[in-house]
Structure 1
Amino acid sequence: MREPKRPTPRRLALAAGVSAAAAGAALAWGAIESHLFTVRDYRIPILPAGTRPLRILQVSDLHLIPEQADKIAWVRELATLEPDFVLNTGDNFGSPQALWPLLHALEPLLAFPGGFVLGSNDYFSPQFRNPLRYLLGHSGQAARRRTHPDLPWQAFTQRMEEAGWLDLNNQRHLLAWDRIGIDLVGLDDPHIGRDSLPPRVASREDSPVRVGIVHAPYRRALDTLHADGAQFIIAGHTHGGQICVPWFGALTSNCDLPPRLASGLHTWPDCRRGAVSDRDPSWLHVSEGVGTNPFVRLRFACRPAASMLTLVPRGEGAF
């Protein structure tokens, strides 16, 4: 039997060169893709028959750094979509110096009714973490060890409330829409253990629609909102995986949510895993988010996105 040929130094050098070129091309595309902002559209059938559709624009995970002029301009242009309501689902800061650029980016959207929950990167500035560690777990445990916020979350909250937006962090608010009341139920960020379900309001128990809002879609938070009666749950945090494998999807969700649910419209509990509930499943939307980890400013097979979530009457079908 003929022995296989051993690779020559020339062939090894050629293979190394090809691999390096492929890695370089992937990094270059990842840097480009992080600026290819888009808007994704979904329809969620939870309104009573005869109710006018409600268009909710979700903006999440900006992770804004002051010099990101193209991101700021794109976020400002979202106001041309003229949503009925805007939801900001947290992780707005990519830098302690980002408050005023952030408020400038959001300024046109503050002209619309809106609400917000905060994420860990609204309280604590981002810290470097080896990207490979995200494949072995999530960053929640390390984040919970930080106890003294170093970001201007109080000033940010104050400006949002001054614009008339609803602070939904562990709070409930009633949104009046086309002769019905939509009960908005928000949680502060589970990623750092700040989530606590607000008490029910007796006068809203007959609201035909309940929507849950949370930054990080941890299972316990989703279970809590589902058990509370939310027909639709809206979340961010995952960046859609940020670095995805084409035709496969996300490798991580940076929480205990299965990576295959890291973006898009799904149901919760996840019936495909045999979950049992005494309620019908809730619709669950997880946003890819607009920004990136400030230390890994790449996206691959996962464009940065805002979401237009259109609530429509039951029976019209979802997509």
Structure 2
Amino acid sequence: MQHSELDFARLGIPRLGTSGSGVPARALAGVAGLAAAGLFYSTVIERNAFALRHTTLSVLEPGATPLRVLHISDLHMMPGQRLKQAWIAELEALEPDLVVNTGDNLAHPQAVPSVIQALGGLLSRPGFFVFGSNDYFGPKPKNPLKYFKKNHQRTQCEPLPWQDLRAAFTERGWLDATHTVRELEVSGVRVVAAGVDDPHIQRDRYETVAGRPNPLAHLRLGLTHSPEPRVLDRFAADGYDLVMAGHTHGGQLCLPFFGALVTNCQLDRSRVKGPSNWGSSMKLHVSAGLGTSPYAPARFCCRPEASLLTLTPVSHGDADYDADQSLPQLARETM
């Protein structure tokens, strides 16, 4: 029996209760269990743990009335995502003065009705929007390692009904800011908004909106889906107060005490979500978004979110405030 056991070892066959490298099977089972728990948490729990980021930014001209802006982005809606649709529908109770949508609303050709139903009464409020690549083209499976390459090759996929989505938005009163300058007075605040098409797929044409915006405006707002530095630099040089963007998903899969691994664009990881300064006088706000690609339906240490921004006048000594809160708690506070 001993000779037979030695033969098994010589052949690399592990003893009962160990792996081939001598690791106890119990330890391997524990690792497998942790991996399964992590997969369940990221794909079922956190992916659906929608939150509202509450941020205060001092960007308005002195003397202006504070403005409450709801920033939504990256819905990546699929038909039948009732939990997400119901959560978005509750945002109407916040009664924002202005709604800004920075694109990637769709993940399926038949998802337009789901998006419109979810947005509901928000479409009756003043709003601006620009589109992202996943308003024009459907998602496709990708090698995750490609996200670590700054200039990985991108392929266009199945067309999505962006014309129907645009028509539904504009018929309800939202203004398309793509490659145009829009002006709107909201709650006594004069807002100038200019946007570009998605820079991530090279659709941006900043020259169509180049130049300094109306100096009489209380807020000069720039919109882009992907927060590419080349576009942010142009907005900053032209004197915009705030640029709002999405696209990054906040990193989507983040590590505790480290943060996002990638931004999926040229933006640095420190600005992957929430507010930051860009240049000497412009603010940037990046939404972590509400959805994911159907081919990567997971989030870790990065909850899906919408943002309620309270914009206040600039004054000496002002400090910006940023916090994550669950929608039910914040909705009770604001109703």
TM-score of the superposed pair, with normalisation by structure 1:
0.88
Match of 1:153 in 2: 162
Identity of aligned residues (%): 42
Of 246, 256, 259, the match for 2:269 = 259
How far 1:149 moved relative to its partner? Answer: 6.5
CA contact (8 A) 2:179 2:209 kept: no
CA contact (8 A) 2:65 2:188 kept: no
Indicate the structure (1 or 2) with the bigger Cα radius of gyration. 2
How far 1:205 moved relative to its partner? Answer: 3.9
Match of 2:6 in 1: none
Match of 1:30 in 2: 42
Measure, in 2, the Cα distance between the counterparts of 1:255 and 1:201: 25
Match of 1:142 in 2: 154
Q: Deviations over 1:127-153 (max 9, x none)?
A: 1102232133466x314xx3x871100
Give 3-state SS (helix, strand or coil) of 1:309's partner: strand
How far 1:201 moved relative to its partner? Answer: 7.6
Measure, in 2, the Cα distance between the counterparts of 1:45 and 1:72: 31
Q: Deviations over 1:217-275 (max 9, x none)?
A: 01111111111211111110000000000121100111011122111111113xxxxxx
How far 1:43 moved relative to its partner? Answer: 0.9
How far 1:180 moved relative to its partner? Answer: 4.7
Equivalent residue runs for 1:61-76 within 5 Å: 61-76=74-89
Measure, in 1, the Cα distance between the counterparts of 2:213 and 2:193: 14
CA contact (8 A) 1:138 1:254 kept: no
Distance verdict in 2 for CA 1:21–1:61, change over 3 Å? same
Match of 1:17 in 2: 29
Deviates more, 1:233-242 or 1:94-103: 94-103
Of 209, 221, 224, the match for 2:234 = 224
Give 3-state SS (helix, strand or coil) of 2:56's partner: strand
1:192 aligns with 2:192: no
Deviates more, 1:176-185 or 1:309-318: 176-185
Measure, in 1, the Cα distance between the counterparts of 2:96 and 2:183: 18
Question: What's the Cα RMSD here?
Answer: 2.0
Unmatched runs of 5 consecutive residues or more in structure 2 = 1-16, 322-335
Give 3-state SS (helix, strand or coil) of 1:34's partner: helix
How many residues of Structure 1 are paired with residues of Structure 2 in the alignment? 299
How far 1:48 moved relative to its partner? Answer: 2.3
Distance verdict in 2 for CA 1:200–1:192, change over 3 Å? closer
1:175 aligns with 2:184: yes
Distance verdict in 2 for CA 1:203–1:314, change over 3 Å? closer
Give 3-state SS (helix, strand or coil) of 2:154's partner: helix
CA contact (8 A) 2:64 2:218 kept: no
Distance verdict in 2 for CA 1:284–1:202, change over 3 Å? closer
Equivalent residue runs for 1:288-307 within 5 Å: 288-307=288-307
